[in-house]
Amino acid sequence: MTDLLGIMESWTPPTTSVRAEDGTLVEIPLADIVSGKPVPARPSVRLRATAEEAERRALSSWRPREHTALGDWVLRAAGGYTARANSVLAVGDPRVPLPQAIAVVRSYYASRRLPAWAQVVVGSEPEAGLVDAGWTTARPGEDDTVFALAPVAQAARGLRPLLPATPPRAQVEATLPDGWLAAEPLAAAAADAARAVLEGAGETGFVSLHDWSGTTLVAKGRVALTSGADPWAGVSDVWVHPDHRRQGLGLVVMDEMLTWAAERGVGTVFLQVRADNPEARALYAKLGFVDHHRYRYLAAPA
């Protein structure tokens, strides 16, 4: 006797079809099956990536208008649109003494009339150094952000049973659609900067769901590829109109983004979610997302 590990795609007597790990579709007579059992999906090998590598990948999917290297650190600015695009990514070694690095960071943001903020991985050496230098939490009362990863195929399989029985059709565009920013006051107030950041990745998909009239945006989301070989897909900006929540529209948007990633051969998807958002985290856990690391923002002392 032998066995086969794979995804069962059909069960139609007198046979079943199983997709093996090498992509081969194997047809097995039901009469030949002695036993079977469910096997959890293997965790993404990308979970072995360091927090620094994960953050560098994420950087390329959320590009600021301008960025400057300070050793391993990256100074980012984008007219104030989002903390991620307007803070120094303090991971790794700045390659200069910390007081000198801090002086460079302060000068960079002062010249752009932006507060000096740093994005740091919780528990990292840069975080400890900046805290010792007097930097404090930039957003008091706000919990850390969780960086979570999942295999695209596993997330898609977990999502399908949760979709509405007859999901509405979503539209996916490569450039920022008209009216897409109207749902976010911060983005609408800094439209040029927002457009530069949102369209800045190498390849991006903007998902839109409209009401029956085709004029009112009721749900949306953004998915973007990281740069380099073996890219990841980053999903963000999932939003559902308050009048259309509890209808599964956010799941429809997520499904479109995962399909978009799968069509491009991407194996790993990531997202960022606040640690104090238990409902969202519970849903993502159902889809196979696993917490990779946490980060927070620190502000320079006055």
CATH value at residue 168: 3.40.630.30
Name the residue among 126, 123, 132 with its Cα closest to residue 87.
126
Confidence category of residue 41, pLDDT binned at 50, 70, 90: low
Q: Which of 142, 158, 181 is the last residue in one of the domains?
A: 142
pLDDT digits (tens, 9 = 90+) for 75-93: 999 999 999 999 999 999 9
Both 111 and 233 in one domain: the answer is: no
Both 51 and 134 in one domain: the answer is: yes
Both 165 and 228 in one domain: the answer is: yes
pLDDT digits (tens, 9 = 90+) for 54-68: 999 999 999 999 999
Please say if the pLDDT value at position 34 is more than 80: yes
Both 128 and 94 in one domain: the answer is: yes
Separation between Cα atoms, residue 128 and residue 201, nearest integer Å: 31
Report phi then psi at 138, rounded to 5: -75, -25
Domain-embedded: residue 119:
yes
Separation between Cα atoms, residue 171 and residue 163, nearest integer Å: 17
Both 126 and 53 in one domain: the answer is: yes
How many alpha carbons lie under 13 Å from residue 53 in its C-beta half-sphere?
10
Structural domain span for residue 53 = 46-142
Please say if the pLDDT value at position 145 is more than 90: yes
Q: Which of 120, 142, 164 is the last residue in one of the domains?
A: 142
Domain-embedded: residue 301:
no
Separation between Cα atoms, residue 226 and residue 173, nearest integer Å: 18
3-state secondary structure of 188: helix
Q: Which of 142, 157, 183 is the last residue in one of the domains?
A: 142
Both 162 and 279 in one domain: the answer is: yes
Pair of tokens at residue 117: 């903020």
Both 214 and 287 in one domain: the answer is: yes
Taking the C-alpha atoms of 50, 52, 197 and 99 in order, what is their torsion angle to the nearest 10 degrees? Answer: 170
The rounded mean pLDDT for the chain is: 92
Both 286 and 246 in one domain: the answer is: yes
| Domain count across the chain | 3
Confidence category of residue 38, pLDDT binned at 50, 70, 90: confident
Separation between Cα atoms, residue 208 and residue 237, nearest integer Å: 11
Please say if the pLDDT value at position 183 is more than 90: no
Average pLDDT, integer, range 3-24: 88
Backbone dihedral region of 63: left (phi > 0), alpha (psi from -120 to 50 degrees) or beta? beta
Q: How confident is the model at residue 40, as a pLDDT?
A: 63
Please say if the pLDDT value at position 19 is more than 90: no
Domain-embedded: residue 32:
yes
Listed in sequence order, the residues at least 6 apart from 46 whose beta carbon sits closer than 8 Å to its beta carbon are: 54, 149, 232, 267, 268
Alpha helices, DSSP H, located in 138-287? 152-159, 185-189, 191-198, 249-263, 278-286
3-state secondary structure of 213: coil
Average pLDDT, integer, range 230-257: 94
Domain-embedded: residue 88:
yes
Both 272 and 156 in one domain: the answer is: yes
Q: How confident is the model at residue 43, as a pLDDT?
A: 54
> How far, rounded to the nearest angstrom, does the alpha carbon of residue 290 sit from its chain's CA centroid?
12
Average pLDDT, integer, range 232-237: 96
pLDDT digits (tens, 9 = 90+) for 166-179: 889 899 999 999 88
Q: How confident is the model at residue 96, as a pLDDT?
A: 98
Domain-embedded: residue 226:
yes
Name the residue among 250, 53, 93, 279 with its Cα closest to residue 167.
250
Please say if the pLDDT value at position 106 is more than 90: yes
Both 151 and 178 in one domain: the answer is: yes
Domain-embedded: residue 164:
yes
Both 161 and 194 in one domain: the answer is: yes
Domain-embedded: residue 65:
yes
Q: How confident is the model at residue 46, as a pLDDT?
A: 63
Separation between Cα atoms, residue 242 and residue 239, nearest integer Å: 9
Confidence category of residue 184, pLDDT binned at 50, 70, 90: confident
Q: How confident is the model at residue 42, as a pLDDT?
A: 59
Please say if the pLDDT value at position 162 is more than 60: yes
Confidence category of residue 136, pLDDT binned at 50, 70, 90: very high
Both 121 and 177 in one domain: the answer is: no
pLDDT digits (tens, 9 = 90+) for 198-229: 999 989 999 999 988 778 899 999 999 999 88
Domain-embedded: residue 120:
yes
